[in-house]
Every structure is written in structure tokens, then in C-alpha cells.
């Protein structure tokens, strides 16, 4: 049995882990593309037990199931990536600049100190279903070869997929599941484009896709997310 712990820096809501970061920690126990389901809010600064099960792994805090993960075949139709100029323009329309449920979220919270979070402020592209923003990964997110660490790739496709899923819906939602496949290393030495799009909804569930691309439009990783509307 292994253990993981989520440092307080990587929060989503103030008292629990960012969904993408948490999912990325768990996905590290699965070889290749993975699907991570969050069953309860991941606590911060708390040892969580990871155990193998027939389908993959489960992560628990005491008797509480926090997350589960399994291998997945990601079947996702990915739109063409917007260019950097379009992504920069879309960033200016990020809905969270006016109202944000969790302003200190590690991925998309505008209320954090400069460069302390990912600063992924995805905004809508006019006359398009896409949301997008640029991303220049900070040095502390990279491995020794200068590529973004996998857990931060998972983080980066979390909140953007939410804005892609629910667009201008004015209701709080939390990540329920994230399935991700990384096709190539994500280099940290230049500006990238993160973009997202809607995949429909069913009752309280909203589905969104997200991807990160290089400046030439080459998709490096993509994800499909399920978001749950909460009261």
C-alpha cells in the first residue's frame, strides 16, 4: 500500500485539493491514459492510502473513498487548436475575473499571488464554442528535461474543461471525473495554448473536453471531464 498527500498550495476549494492536481497524483499509479473519478473532496496535507484493486487503484482516507482510477481508451474528437493571438484575446474575457466561486484555486483562481498558480484564465472565443487562453508554465512545474510534469498537465486540463463544459452557466460545479491522454511531452520553454469545448449535459452532469497545444497547433495532451452541478 502506498500513500499520497496533497500540499496545501494545490487547492481547488480552500480546504480541498484541486481536482486536476488530485487526479494527476492518482493517475501516476496507472500506466498510460487514465480515468480518475473523485468520490469525495480530497483533503489537503493528509496522508491518503492508495491500494490496488482489480480495476486499478483506490485512494482512501480512513473509511472514506476519495478517488479511484483505471486505465482508459480516450475516444475524443479534438477541435483544431486556436492560435496564440486568439487565445490571448479570449483570456481577457475570462468569466472568473468578474465572479469566481474559488478565487484561490491553484489552476484558475485570480486571487493568488503572481506565478503561485497556473493562471489559466480561459475565456470564450466569439462565434465559437471554444474557450481558450495562453499558458507559459513556470520553472517549478518542469522536470529535469524542461517538460511539464504529468501532474501539472492533469491540473492544466481540469478547470478549463469546466468552463468548456458549462460556459456561461451561473451555477457552482465540481469535477467528478477526468480522463486524460498525453500524446507528447509538454515543453515548458515557450507559450502554449490551452483550450476547451462542450460535450453536452445530462441532468446535473456537464461534460467538457480540454487540450493543450503548442504554438504550431499540435495537440500534446487532451482530456474529457465530467462536472457535477452542486447547490
Query: By the 8 A CB rule, do 214 and 187 touch?
Result: yes
Q: Report the first-to-last Cα separation within the chain, whole angstroms.
A: 36
Q: Select the CATH number that applies to the domain covering 84-229 from these four: 3.90.1200.10, 3.90.79.10, 3.10.129.10, 3.40.50.720.
A: 3.10.129.10
What pLDDT digit, counting tens, does each position of 96-149 carry?
Answer: 998 898 999 999 999 999 999 999 999 999 999 999 999 999 999 999 999 999
84-229 shares the fold of 2-71: yes
As a CATH number, domain 2-71 is: 3.10.129.10
pLDDT of residue 133: 98
| DSSP-assigned beta bridge partners for residue 48 | 4
Instruction: Give the mean model confidence (pLDDT) for residues 170-183.
Output: 91
Query: By the 8 A CB rule, do 210 and 160 touch?
Result: yes
DSSP code at position 146: S
Measured CA to CA, the distance from residue 163 to residue 167 in angstroms comes to: 5
- Listed by start position, the domains of the chain span 2-71, 84-229
CA neighbor of 194 nearest in space, from 164, 171, 169, 172: 164
What pLDDT digit, counting tens, does each position of 73-83 carry?
Answer: 999 999 999 99
Q: pTM above the 0.85 mark?
A: yes
Indicate whether 168 pLDDT > 90. Answer: no
Instruction: Give the mean model confidence (pLDDT) for residues 189-209.
Output: 96
Percent of the chain past pLDDT 90, that is, above it, reads 91
Amino acid at each position: 500500500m502506498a500513500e499520497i498527500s496533497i500540499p496545501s498550495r494545490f487547492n481547488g476549494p480552500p480546504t480541498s485539493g484541486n481536482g486536476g492536481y488530485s487526479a494527476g497524483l492518482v493517475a501516476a499509479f496507472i500506466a498510460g491514459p487514465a480515468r480518475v473519478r473523485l468520490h469525495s473532496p480530497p483533503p489537503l496535507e493528509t496522508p491518503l492510502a492508495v491500494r490496488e484493486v482489480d480495476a486499478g487503484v483506490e485512494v482512501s482516507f480512513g473509511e472514506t473513498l476519495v478517488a479511484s482510477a483505471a486505465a482508459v481508451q480516450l475516444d475524443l474528437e479534438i477541435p483544431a487548436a486556436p492560435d496564440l493571438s486568439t487565445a490571448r484575446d479570449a483570456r481577457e474575457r475570462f468569466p472568473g475575473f468578474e465572479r469566481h466561486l474559488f478565487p484561490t484555486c491553484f489552476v484558475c483562481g485570480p486571487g493568488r499571488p503572481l506565478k503561485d498558480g497556473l493562471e489559466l484564465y480561459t475565456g470564450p472565443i466569439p462565434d465559437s464554442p471554444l474557450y481558450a487562453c495562453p499558458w507559459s508554465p513556470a520553472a517549478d512545474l518542469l522536470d529535469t528535461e524542461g517538460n511539464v510534469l504529468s501532474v501539472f498537465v492533469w491540473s492544466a486540463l481540469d478547470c478549463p474543461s469546466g468552463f468548456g463544459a458549462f460556459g456561461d452557466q451561473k451555477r457552482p460545479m465540481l469535477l467528478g471525473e477526468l480522463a486524460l491522454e498525453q500524446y507528447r511531452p509538454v515543453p515548458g520553454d515557450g507559450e502554449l495554448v490551452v483550450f476547451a469545448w462542450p460535450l453536452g449535459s445530462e441532468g446535473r452532469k456537464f461534460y467538457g473536453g480540454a487540450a493543450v497545444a503548442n504554438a504550431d497547433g499540435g495537440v500534446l495532451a487532451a482530456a474529457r471531464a465530467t462536472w457535477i452541478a452542486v447547490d
